[in-house]
Structure 1
């Protein structure tokens, strides 16, 4: 977020039972021709049916995907986590190789060597990206047919120079719908894990007390929320509330669109609810996640991806 931004079971089993019964009846009527008695036939079919296990439906959500692609914005690029005003994808919560962060991919693949992890992961996120940029990122991800795609985007749609320039909710929703269509066109069975947009107002509250952070914010980072960070006037509060409400609406759109896709899982607003501490924020801008913060995001994602049920 740099500049204006920071980015069924009875059916088959019952059918076989009925078929077996009909077959037994036919064989009973033709026993003289086949050399079998009706009781022998019925007994044979019955024992065969009892020995044959009923098939179990394959679960739609695979809790242990073996390849991960990431799309989104600067958070997933690890911006400002390793150095000032620089991407650091090796610490990305989604696909990073840094052992201290233990990214989602690192945890899913049980801590493989960096070389192997790199063969199973792709990071197409871009610093400054908004939801309108996601369809193109999804199309690139689909080319690799990943088993899981992570999504963390939307902060930049609210982080603008002014609240008037924030992305309308309907446009945000349409872009996310288009993103899923692009993915499904190339990778119809890929699972999608969607992170909620962080609470930008809470980040402002956590970082406003740091002198260095305040100076960096003056460069234009998320001005709609961070501008005039020490201004406690009614007008400034109303501006921040507008940004907060827009992020809440974005998360509602992510939840609703994801719910229509059987291979999509939303985090239930968990990232939005995180109270990032000072050590979880970048020491250079006090807004983006630090390595520790990236690890926190990875922890949340891993728990939700591997859970038997999606978050409430």
Structure 2
């Protein structure tokens, strides 16, 4: 009797211990000794490691085609009212600018492995054609800086509607993908035109040149600080912000496209970084700053 009572007491204690401390355990008694055995746990399979996402971006492309407008043609950077492609931020060979092409390919490769297809005065509606020409070169990288002329019209009412701007940019990427599906694309934001006005309006030379209908929507009557003039300039700036949002959103849908994150829009061009002939386009020093911004974004892994 004492043995049976001891056995029952021991089994009950083991069962209580299992319930309280080991949820996966069950008290089983077997054989004359009544030994409690824990239930066998089924081992869980080890999940395979999650693969790291593979980036499609190559930070060292082997060739470059540049599309865009007067900024990429380095208009007024070397002489008055003239393109100066050797000083272009994208494809130039001027060592003082140290263009994107020079940084990527060196002096020996910059001329043979890069093409400047931009046109002074171009607007976004022209970009699909430029992109098709770029695709024909089969470049590994295409740089895009386009849209300032869509805001720089004689009057704000003539600015390109945002949805037209969006449709042209979408078409541009589609044209590139049709001919060069694996080409990478770097998209620069548009500069802050109102900040350029604020910097250049202190120059008598700048004001004189601006009177020749240079970006009238922003630069007309540069010394007029009336509420109406301020409203006009703010309207143009808001349109540039909207254009930059389009560039960011459309680029984000392409796995091989990188937007500069608003770096050019946020850059504060000082007097020495603007053309001494029009106080609006980048000078050689300003072109060098654009090259720095582009290279930093393109070479990032």
TM-score category of the 2 structures, normalised to the smaller one: 0.7 to 0.9
Quote the Cα distance in structure 2 between the aligned partners of 1:112 and 1:124: 20
State whether structure 2 residue 110 is matched by structure 1 residue 117: yes
Quote the Cα distance in structure 2 between the aligned partners of 1:233 and 1:56: 56
Of residues 297, 302, 307 in structure 1, which corresponds to 2:290?
A: 297
SS of the residue corresponding to residue 107 of structure 2 reads: coil
Q: Which runs of 4+ in 1 moved over 2 A?
A: 55-59
Quote the Cα distance in structure 1 between the aligned partners of 2:242 and 2:110: 35
- Tell me how large the CA RMSD over aligned residues is: 1.3
Matches within 5 A, 1:126-275: 126-275=119-268
Identify, as 1 or 2, the structure richer in helix.
1
For structure 2, list consecutive stretches of 5 or more residues without a partner in the other structure. 1-50
Quote the Cα distance in structure 2 between the aligned partners of 1:295 and 1:272: 16
How far is the alpha carbon of 1:274 from its aligned partner? 0.5
How far is the alpha carbon of 1:57 from its aligned partner? 7.3
SS of the residue corresponding to residue 246 of structure 1 reads: helix
SS of the residue corresponding to residue 74 of structure 1 reads: coil
SS of the residue corresponding to residue 166 of structure 2 reads: helix
Q: Which has the larger radius of gyration?
A: 2
How far is the alpha carbon of 1:222 from its aligned partner? 0.2
| TM-score, normalised via structure 1 length | 0.79
Alignment length (residue pairs): 252
Quote the Cα distance in structure 1 between the aligned partners of 2:53 and 2:158: 47
Equivalent residue, structure 2, for 1:51: none
| TM-score, normalised via structure 2 length | 0.82
How far is the alpha carbon of 1:108 from its aligned partner? 1.0
SS of the residue corresponding to residue 151 of structure 1 reads: strand
For structure 1, list consecutive stretches of 5 or more residues without a partner in the other structure. 1-54
